[in-house]
């Protein structure tokens, strides 16, 4: 018996060893695999660095090409303004027609007046917007693609120039630059860094790069040149470091100089480099010099109970007293804080403490004011009710460089009990510390709080806290700093012990009571600022979006508990103009309707825009399923602004793209049903589906969904008749009767007599299966009824509703800032769309032509179309051609903005007389015109939908009635 037991033990022991060996083998393989993956990751990182470098270089070249093109256009325009060109051009065409001869006489008269000075001719200057001159375009491309980024240039216009207290210096005798340049120097004495500001001006606005250059020479006490400690371009021929200078007077050159150890003098020279125009330099150069050390900024509002403990932790610091200062910004209502600080200073005179007294209450304002006073190279923030470890400043500063942020740990102190707890922030840092390189998302929590970090003063002073935010100002401030300067991230030595002690009180953010104001309204204010940063950034966009998502988390959690406040949230989103994907994430919690729109925003298509407008005016948010249109339509991301506030989950499928290809339609429909199955496996069933068709695939997909989920209510909208085109001809595309049979739409297949037209079935399925049918006007409904199956007509009437296309709120007409340049005394008309003189515009032109000469010349017609100018003006009277301006289509929001600026907007009915029972078409643009406030000239067929409209500002006249057209024009001139 014992032998058997020993045998079993032996076998078990052998089995255990085998198991251990197997596990070790698996572990060994995993380790080996990890090593391979790490090597692959390193290769990918290097490739990414190279791609980013090439991308930056391409962006720089693009900027330069744009500027060169601008200069060429400017030169061309000015050549065309010269007397010789204008006279020669007029002579060339002056004897080819009577109109050309009249133009010649007019030109000669104008040139004579210019010659005598009666008419002053201005030189034409073209100018790129400031946004077109990116900071990267002003900075030389670094050849070493692995070098860290550094701030050679700040943003051209600082948020607040006073945040930098520059010392002004003047070089005598400086005026216009030449190749020898203007020399000046900066004496260095215990200086860690210098911010140098210069402003140059090209006398002709030709802002191409490399027209002027700044050379830099760091010299020791013997006059020997020293090597730069930051990656600055070096010229072997000049034997100096250099920066190219921007010569746009609207943009300052803000340059960081970091003198190497031993520097006694920085010699600088500003000179012409590759310029063909004169450049002015008035000799003014401004500097800020930062000493080596740390400025500790402490905002304090009624801090009498806590400030002394904070100061005692400063007194205990092991960093040399000469290497740090304390700036306390007392703000708002006074208490005994100042008196306590002054008493403390008397007992601890070795501490360098500066007190600011500010009447305005607010930590952000206090920090902004204190930042301006900082004299040291680096800044750290401490709250007056917190305190720091004795080695805090020493450990942070010993890792600090000109281009990094150094982090250390945080411990939470419970105010009531004094209990000290490890924080999640320190745990996050501990995990990140095991990585070879720390990414922003590895330490996302600590990066955007004010505490437990040190950063260069030239970063800190380049950003301002938003003083209007009630909370979350630290998130916005540090996100903006990280986005703009892209600093490296380092940890202090012993970060888990050398910590910032954060005192948790009842007023702490982490203990804020839930409320709509804090959890929603204040979070939206922060998000709005973060979106602005995201829009302006080319770096760290995923990190910025993660910050937006974190703020949105507060909103989601609150609204899940407080459904009744969702309406307030939507109104606030609209009022603040917030467009971001997080809105859809929140909306998706409340959607009960699914919209199926084969073509949808952001694709630039009329049907996509109208569906967006429909959603804009729906009472509750919706989910959307659409299809990619990338092969047949361009994208206009701005179109998302129309409806994004009211959309939850938007799924874009990738079915084949076609208007009338049955296989593509069937594929999309089946993909929609599968996608809905996936969606409802993770949420409740939708109550409604809404489909809209010009694109037939929308209705086929909705019909298939209705067939599978009959409990869902289906609302089907027709934008226009589908089966019959504008010429009353039947559209045809063969569909698969087998498809209809397999999905239960027909009981059997009769190949001999059954209709197999896709467009017929698109209308039929909606009539038969939809619970509600929407038409945009009565004529459309009556016309579609006239050829529908008689057995369905009563059903269609019972289900139908007439809902015109929606008009957006006036705020949408102000989204674009496009401006129409107008002369006084001129009446401006506009037409948007395809333009044919013989399709209704002949009467408009005849009415215009018949005006007396003085009135005729006071009228301009702008035509925004895809057609060439020759096509548009062909057939127009000669005397009108020079008064017609033909321009390409503009984006939707540009279109809306322009409609407000024209005096008269022209719209015309499709001509159907003799082709159809009635005119079923209501031009889609009329709904947009109605929101503009401008006068509308509607050229209509008798009894068309538009002819029956009675709206203020809409002037209706029949297509060929030149008398009425002329009277309307004269009345509105």
* CATH for 916: 3.40.50.2000
pLDDT confidence of residue 855? 93
Mean pLDDT of 862-891: 91
861 CB-near residues (< 8 Å, 6+ apart): 829, 830, 831, 848, 880, 883, 884, 885, 906
Looking only at the bridges linking them, the beta strands covering 253-257 and 191-198 are antiparallel
pLDDT confidence of residue 96? 58
Tell me, yes or no, whether 128 lies in a domain.
no
Which one of 260, 289, 318 terminates a domain? 289
Mean pLDDT of 475-503: 95
Residue 34: pLDDT above 50?
Answer: yes
Same domain (yes/no): 36, 161 = no
Q: Are 828 and 819 in contact (CB under 8 A)?
A: no
pLDDT tier at 834 (50, 70, 90 boundaries)?
Answer: confident
Residue 973 CA to residue 969 CA, distance in Å, equals: 6
Same domain (yes/no): 755, 851 = no
pLDDT confidence of residue 29? 52
More confident residue, 200 or 841: 200
pLDDT confidence of residue 206? 67
Tell me, yes or no, whether 129 lies in a domain.
no
Tell me, yes or no, whether 691 lies in a domain.
yes
Tell me, yes or no, whether 130 lies in a domain.
no
Which one of 550, 581, 612 terminates a domain? 581
Residue 84: pLDDT above 90?
Answer: no
Residue 607: pLDDT above 90?
Answer: yes
Residue 19: pLDDT above 90?
Answer: no
pLDDT confidence of residue 118? 47
pLDDT tier at 537 (50, 70, 90 boundaries)?
Answer: confident
Same domain (yes/no): 543, 683 = no
pLDDT confidence of residue 415? 86
Same domain (yes/no): 638, 730 = yes
Same domain (yes/no): 261, 336 = no
Residue 152: pLDDT above 70?
Answer: no
Tell me, yes or no, whether 285 lies in a domain.
yes
More confident residue, 473 or 539: 473
pLDDT confidence of residue 62? 59
String of b and e for 128-147 (b: at least 16 CB within 10 Å)? eeeeebbbbbbbeebeeeee
Residue 393: pLDDT above 80?
Answer: yes
Mean pLDDT of 827-833: 95
Using CA atoms in the order 706, 710, 711, 717, what is the torsion angle rounded to 10 degrees? 30
Cα torsion 566, 570, 571, 577: sign: positive
**What is the model's pTM?**
0.75
The structural domain count of the chain equals 6
Highest mean pLDDT among 15-24, 81-90, 447-456, 832-841: 447-456
User: To the nearest whole percent, how much of the chain has pLDDT over 90?
Assistant: 70
pLDDT tier at 140 (50, 70, 90 boundaries)?
Answer: very low
Whichever domain contains 333, its CATH number is 3.90.550.10
pLDDT confidence of residue 135? 30
Same domain (yes/no): 550, 640 = no
- Own/partner pairs, 869-872, CB within 8 angstroms, 24+ separation: 871/835, 872/835
Same domain (yes/no): 425, 304 = yes
Which one of 263, 289, 315 terminates a domain? 289
Residue 551: pLDDT above 60?
Answer: yes
Same domain (yes/no): 835, 772 = no
Residue 821: pLDDT above 50?
Answer: yes
Tell me, yes or no, whether 246 lies in a domain.
yes
Average of per-residue pLDDT values in the chain: 86
Residue 893: pLDDT above 80?
Answer: yes
pLDDT tier at 125 (50, 70, 90 boundaries)?
Answer: very low
Mean pLDDT of 715-730: 95
Residue 373 CA to residue 363 CA, distance in Å, equals: 16
pLDDT confidence of residue 39? 55
pLDDT confidence of residue 74? 53
Helix (H, G, I), strand (E, B) or coil at 815: coil
Q: Are 894 and 817 in contact (CB under 8 A)?
A: no
Q: In sequence order, what are the beta bridge partners of 197?
A: 254, 286
Same domain (yes/no): 596, 577 = no
Mean pLDDT of 714-718: 98
pLDDT confidence of residue 141? 26
Tell me, yes or no, whether 889 lies in a domain.
yes
Tell me, yes or no, whether 122 lies in a domain.
no
pLDDT confidence of residue 106? 62
Same domain (yes/no): 480, 344 = yes
Tokens of 229: 């400690």
Mean pLDDT of 702-731: 96
More confident residue, 86 or 383: 383
Same domain (yes/no): 214, 273 = yes
Same domain (yes/no): 424, 477 = yes
For 541-602, strand residue ranges (E) read 593-596
pLDDT confidence of residue 14? 47
Structural domain for 89, as ranges: 17-116
pLDDT confidence of residue 165? 79
Mean pLDDT of 742-758: 88
Cα torsion 223, 226, 230, 232: sign: positive
Residue 481: pLDDT above 90?
Answer: yes
User: To the nearest whole percent, how much of the chain has pLDDT over 70?
Assistant: 82
């Amino acid at each position: 018996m014992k032998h058997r037991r020993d045998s079993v033990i032996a076998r078990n022991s052998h089995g255990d060893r085998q198991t251990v060996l197997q596990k070790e083998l698996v572990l060994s393989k995993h380790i080996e695999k990890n090593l391979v993956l790490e090597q692959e990751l390193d290769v990918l990182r290097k490739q990414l660095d190279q791609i980013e470098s090439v991308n930056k270089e391409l962006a720089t070249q693009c900027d330069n090409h744009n500027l060169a093109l601008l200069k060429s256009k400017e030169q061309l325009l000015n050549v065309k303004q010269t007397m010789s060109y204008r006279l020669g051009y007029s002579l060339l065409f002056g004897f080819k027609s009577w109109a050309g001869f009249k133009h010649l006489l007019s030109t000669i008269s104008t040139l004579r007046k210019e010659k005598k000075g009666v008419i002053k001719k201005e030189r034409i200057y073209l100018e790129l917007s400031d946004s077109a001159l990116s900071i990267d375009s002003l900075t030389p491309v670094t050849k070493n693609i692995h070098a860290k980024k550094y701030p050679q240039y700040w943003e051209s216009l600082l948020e607040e120039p006073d945040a930098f207290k520059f010392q002004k210096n003047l070089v005598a005798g400086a005026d216009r630059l030449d190749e020898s340049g203007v020399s000046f120097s900066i004496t260095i004495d215990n200086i860690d860094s210098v911010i140098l500001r210069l402003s140059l001006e090209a006398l002709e606005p030709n802002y191409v790069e490399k027209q002027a250059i700044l050379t830099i020479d760091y010299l020791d006490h013997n006059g020997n040149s020293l090597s730069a400690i930051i990656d600055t371009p070096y010229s072997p021929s000049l034997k100096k470091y250099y920066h190219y200078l921007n010569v746009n007077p609207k943009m300052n050159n803000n340059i960081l100089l970091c003198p190497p150890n031993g520097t006694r003098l920085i010699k600088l020279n500003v000179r012409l480099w590759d310029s063909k125009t004169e450049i002015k330099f008035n000799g003014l150069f401004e500097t800020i010099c930062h000493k080596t050390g740390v400025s500790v900024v402490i905002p304090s509002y009624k801090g009498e109970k806590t400030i002394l403990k904070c100061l005692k932790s400063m007194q205990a610091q092991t960093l040399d007293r000469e290497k740090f200062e304390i700036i306390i910004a007392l703000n708002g209502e006074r208490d005994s804080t100042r008196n306590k600080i002054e008493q403390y200073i008397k007992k601890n005179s070795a501490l360098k403490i500066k007190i600011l007294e500010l009447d305005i209450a607010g930590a952000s304002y206090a920090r902004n004011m204190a930042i301006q006073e900082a004299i040291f190279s680096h800044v750290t923030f401490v709250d007056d009710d917190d305190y720091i470890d004795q080695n805090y400043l020493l450990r942070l500063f010993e890792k600090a460089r000109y281009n990094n942020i150094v982090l250390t740990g945080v411990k939470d102190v419970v105010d009531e009990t004094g209990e000290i707890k490890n924080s999640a922030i320190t745990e996050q840092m501990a995990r990140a510390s095991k990585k070879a390189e720390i990414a922003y998302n590895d330490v996302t929590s600590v990066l955007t709080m004010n505490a437990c970090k040190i950063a260069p003063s030239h970063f800190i002073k380049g950003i301002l806290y938003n003083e209007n935010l009630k909370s979350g100002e630290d998130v916005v401030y540090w996100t903006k700093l990280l986005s703009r300067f892209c600093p490296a991230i380092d940890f202090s030595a012993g970060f888990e012990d050398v910590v910032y002690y954060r005192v948790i009180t009842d007023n702490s953010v982490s203990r804020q009571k839930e409320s709509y104001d804090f959890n929603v309204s204040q979070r939206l204010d922060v998000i709005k600022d973060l979106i602005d940063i995201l829009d302006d950034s080319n770096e760290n966009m995923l990190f910025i979006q993660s910050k937006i998502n974190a703020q949105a988390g507060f909103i989601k959690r609150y609204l899940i508990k407080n459904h009744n406040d969702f309406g307030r949230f939507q109104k606030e989103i609209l009022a603040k103009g917030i467009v971001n994907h997080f809105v859809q994430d929140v909306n998706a919690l409340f959607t009960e309707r699914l919209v199926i729109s084969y073509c949808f925003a952001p694709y630039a298509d009329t049907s996509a825009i109208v569906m967006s407008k429909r959603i804009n005016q729906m009472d509750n948010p919706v989910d959307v399923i659409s299809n990619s249109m990338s092969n047949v339509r361009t994208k206009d991301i701005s179109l998302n602004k129309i409806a994004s506030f009211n959309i939850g989950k938007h799924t874009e499928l990738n079915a084949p793209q076609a208007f009338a290809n049955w296989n593509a339609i069937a594929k999309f429909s089946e993909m929609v049903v599968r996608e809905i199955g996936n969606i409802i496996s993770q949420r409740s069933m939708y109550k409604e589906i809404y489909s809209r068709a010009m694109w037939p695939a929308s209705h086929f997909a909705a019909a298939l969904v209705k067939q599978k989920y009959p409990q869902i209510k289906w609302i089907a909208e027709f934008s226009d008749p589908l089966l019959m085109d504008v010429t009353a001809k039947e559209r045809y595309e063969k569909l698969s009767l087998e498809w209809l049979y397999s999905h239960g739409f027909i009981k059997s297949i009769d190949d001999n007599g059954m209709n197999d037209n896709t467009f017929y079935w698109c209308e039929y399925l909606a009539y038969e299966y939809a619970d509600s049918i929407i038409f945009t006007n009565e004529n459309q409904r009556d016309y579609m009824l006239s050829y529908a199956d008689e057995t369905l007509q009563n059903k269609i009437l019972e289900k139908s509703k007439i809902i015109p296309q929606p008009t957006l709120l006036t705020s949408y007409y102000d989204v674009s800032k496009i401006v129409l340049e107008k002369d006084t005394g001129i009446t401006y008309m506009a037409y948007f769309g395809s333009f044919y003189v013989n399709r209704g515009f002949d009467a408009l032109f005849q009415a215009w032509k018949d005006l007396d000469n003085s009135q005729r010349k006071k009228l301009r017609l702008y035509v925004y179309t895809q057609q060439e100018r020759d096509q548009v003006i062909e057939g127009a009277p000669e005397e009108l051609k020079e008064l017609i301006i033909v321009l390409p289509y503009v984006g939707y929001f540009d279109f809306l903005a322009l409609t407000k600026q024209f005096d008269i907007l022209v719209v015309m009915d499709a001509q159907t007389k003799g082709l159809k029972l009635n005119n079923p078409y209501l031009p889609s643009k009329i709904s947009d015109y109605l929101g503009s406030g401008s006068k509308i000239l509607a050229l209509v067929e008798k009894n068309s939908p538009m002819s029956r409209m009675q709206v203020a500002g809409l002037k209706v006249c029949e297509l060929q009635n030149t008398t009425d057209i002329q009277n309307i024009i004269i009345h509105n001139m």
